Amino acid sequence: MIACTISFFARTVNIKDKLRDMQIKTRALIIRRHLYSNTSLIVSMLCPDEGKIDALAKGARRAVKKPMFENHLDLMCLGEALIQTAPAGGLARLYEFAADDDYRGIRKDSSRLERAYVILDLASEFTRPGLESARIFDLTTRALSLLERTNSPGTALLTFWTAIIAESGFSPVGGVCESCGEPLVKSKSFFVSAHVSGVLCGNCRPEGAGVATMDNATFTLWKNLESPELKRLELLKLGERQMKSLTRVLAPYTIAMLEKVPRTFTRLGKLSG
């Protein structure tokens, strides 16, 4: 009887230890949120070590906020989160969230806010649950900081967009033609197709729909935006024509990589200027 009691106690302690081990405290940026019930939300958070986490925040929509959610759980809130990781096939639980930045300067300007939605959408699409994402977390938070203070919101969006493509290993800058293998630097014009995950030289125009043409100036712009040597990006202000030209190239390129159209891409037409 004593042996059984000891055995049961040991198992209970082990279960408690495992549950405690499943709780993590981490920096988190809220990138999406969905209604779960009249009183609760499901929030998607971008975390440096855990990637993207979808978690249930019970009571987050109550008229009187729970103390652990008194900072609210709005999009772009950055702070410390206490999360109970999800069991197999289940949903994680968000127990606490203490926001220390909500990028208020972005929220006051509709032009900045619309571009922030695209940044959050891209961050979500390029991140996977359970995979270390410190670099993408850093790129996203720095992009929001740049968007908040720059005089050229379009530049902030394009800088982030080219950087996250490069981080995902799909950068064509400094590469070769996807079709013939010739170095891209030898070409005066380039093509990007929604059906080819790479850039084609001017001699290899692809067939079918979804083809974007990129001239040397746009190619150079892409390279400069992506370059880690380009400092003080807040001082770089692109013209409307440059933004539209690069957006027309990046959009089908991104769609080809993700094999889907991100939800915010419907806004790109009015954001490219």
Q: Which two tokens stand for residue 133?
A: 């994402």
**pLDDT exceeds 70 at position 54:** yes
pLDDT band (50, 70, 90) for residue 17: very low
Domain limits of the chain?
22-102, 136-271
Whether 42 and 34 have beta carbons less than 8 Å apart is answered as yes
pLDDT band (50, 70, 90) for residue 55: very high
pLDDT of residue 115: 94
Q: How many CA atoms lie within 13 A of 22 on its CB side?
A: 16
Q: Which two tokens stand for residue 90?
A: 């289940």
Q: CA-CA distance, 200 to 18, in Å (whole number)?
A: 52
**Better pLDDT: 53 or 267:** 53
The helix or strand, by DSSP H or E, that contains position 243, with its residue range, turns out to be helix 240-258
Determine whether domain 22-102 maps to CATH 3.40.1160.10. Answer: no
The segment with the largest mean pLDDT, out of 18-22, 192-196, 209-213, 251-255, is 251-255
Q: What is the mean pLDDT of the chain?
A: 79
- Cα distances (Å, whole numbers) of residue 226 to 29, 142, 158, 187, 230: 23, 14, 9, 20, 8
- Cα distances (Å, whole numbers) of residue 124 to 11, 58, 67, 228: 39, 22, 28, 23
**Per-residue pLDDT tens digits for 103-160:** 999 999 999 999 999 999 999 999 988 888 999 999 999 999 999 988 888 888 998 9
pTM for the full predicted model: 0.81
Q: Give the strand pairing for 51-57 and 92-101.
A: parallel
Amino acid (1-letter code) at residue 26:
T
Looking at domain 136-271, its CATH class is mainly alpha
**pLDDT exceeds 60 at position 25:** yes
The helix or strand, by DSSP H or E, that contains position 197, with its residue range, turns out to be strand 196-201
**Per-residue pLDDT tens digits for 188-240:** 788 877 667 678 888 888 876 667 788 888 887 887 777 654 444 545 566 77
